[in-house]
Amino acid sequence: MIWKEKYELGVPNIDEQHQELFRRIDEFMANLRSADPWEEKVDVVNETLKFMNGYVVEHFRDEEEYQQKIGYPGYEMHKKIHADMVNYVLHVTEEYEKRGYDEKLLQQFSGKLLAWLINHVAAEDQRIALYAIEKGVTGNE
């Protein structure tokens, strides 16, 4: 598990969603690494892509709503970062539909997802938590 406590924002539903994202990417990477034939790996790949296209969009929406609720000044910029990620996931999904099980494409995808998530949650999302603390607004009430 690659989740770390320092990633917490102190907003329970967002923190749970982040943990779920880490868990799913972890599972996806373990599946890609396994020696099983691709025919057996393809289910997890399909599931992961479905998850990334659904859950991630919902998660971003929840996180953006929270930012608006606390009046986070970096909201527009943050929203743009989310939108770029959604587009990237869509792009990979289209490539996957064209190319099928392509080890290189999927390896790149999982690596980029993990790097993006760590970087985003540990840096960008933490700014939201800092702002909430500074302003004394947690939005949890």
Distance CA 43, CA 57 (A): 21
- Using CB under 5 A, list all residues that contact Fe ion: 63, 125
The least CB distance from residue 63 to Fe ion, in Å, is 5
The least CB distance from residue 77 to Fe ion, in Å, is 11
- Looking at the Cβ atoms of 96 and 116, the one nearer to Fe ion is 116
Distance CA 82, CA 97 (A): 23
- Looking at the Cβ atoms of 44 and 63, the one nearer to Fe ion is 63
Question: Does residue 91 sit in helix, strand or coil?
Answer: helix
Per DSSP, 73 falls in state T
Distance CA 89, CA 108 (A): 12
The least CB distance from residue 20 to Fe ion, in Å, is 14
- Looking at the Cβ atoms of 25 and 32, the one nearer to Fe ion is 25
Q: Shortest Cβ contact with Fe ion: which residue?
A: 125
